[in-house]
Amino acid sequence: ERRKSYAIYVIFLTGSMAAIRIPLSVLTARLLEEWAIRATLLLNQGRQATPQFSITMTIREQQRAGEWYAARGDSQMINELYQCEQACYEINQIPPSRRDERNERIRQLFGKAGSALNVNTPFHCDFGKNIEVGNYFFANFNLTILDENRVIFGHHVYIGPNCSFYTAIHPLDVERRNADIQKALPIHVGDNVWIGGNVTVLPGVRIGCGSTIGAGSVVTHDIPDGVLAAGNPARVIRKIEGGDK
């Protein structure tokens, strides 16, 4: 597992074989599938299979694909982090008497925002542009979103104070962690969801439409539609029935 690369063997129609070493970080199922498809097309055409495949992904592509990537390997991404940090600082200085201005600044920071956006400050995020919210999104004080990957909220989502949404994952292996290797998985929150105070949502989680997450929960796995879930780790307590008011 500590090896830095795998040897990929390419067999030509002539019977010769060559080995290409590529970094583990770019070796994905999607890439191997692409190679296989292209090689098959060449074979079907009766031509010598000269490999012409791209064997690299940009750091940004690795990040979005949920692959391990060098967190400090792209200077432009680092600059975007600093710019977002500055934007959050400026937004958090806007007084409550200028609420409309504050919400407009947050709208500009997000990748997408619907109508009736309301976020109480202080608020913190990493990139901002990876966050999408639907109509009637309300977040109380101290919302933190580490949006190294996409964080998508549906319509009519209510978030209590001191909630955190983390997409970033650091390796358990000390050597890789100290080398600033990480990956990020997206978070999806459906429509009509209420998330109580002090809730933490971890990478890759989906919360279904119409569900409620109890205060203090740590959501480590998907939550289905229309349920009350709570605890650490959060588990389904019961379905939300029509008689619940």
Active centre residues (catalytic): 170
SS3 61: helix
d(CA 29, CA 192): 35
Phi first, then psi: give them for residue 158, nearest 5 degrees.
-115, 130
Return all residues near 9 (Cβ < 8 A) that are at least 6 apart: 17, 18, 19
Token pair belonging to 203 = 């990478």
Return all residues near 12 (Cβ < 8 A) that are at least 6 apart: 18, 48, 49, 50
d(CA 153, CA 74): 28
d(CA 74, CA 140): 33
Return all residues near 172 (Cβ < 8 A) that are at least 6 apart: none
Phi first, then psi: give them for residue 56, nearest 5 degrees.
-130, 150
d(CA 190, CA 119): 18
H or E, element range at 44: helix 29-44
H or E, element range at 22: strand 17-23
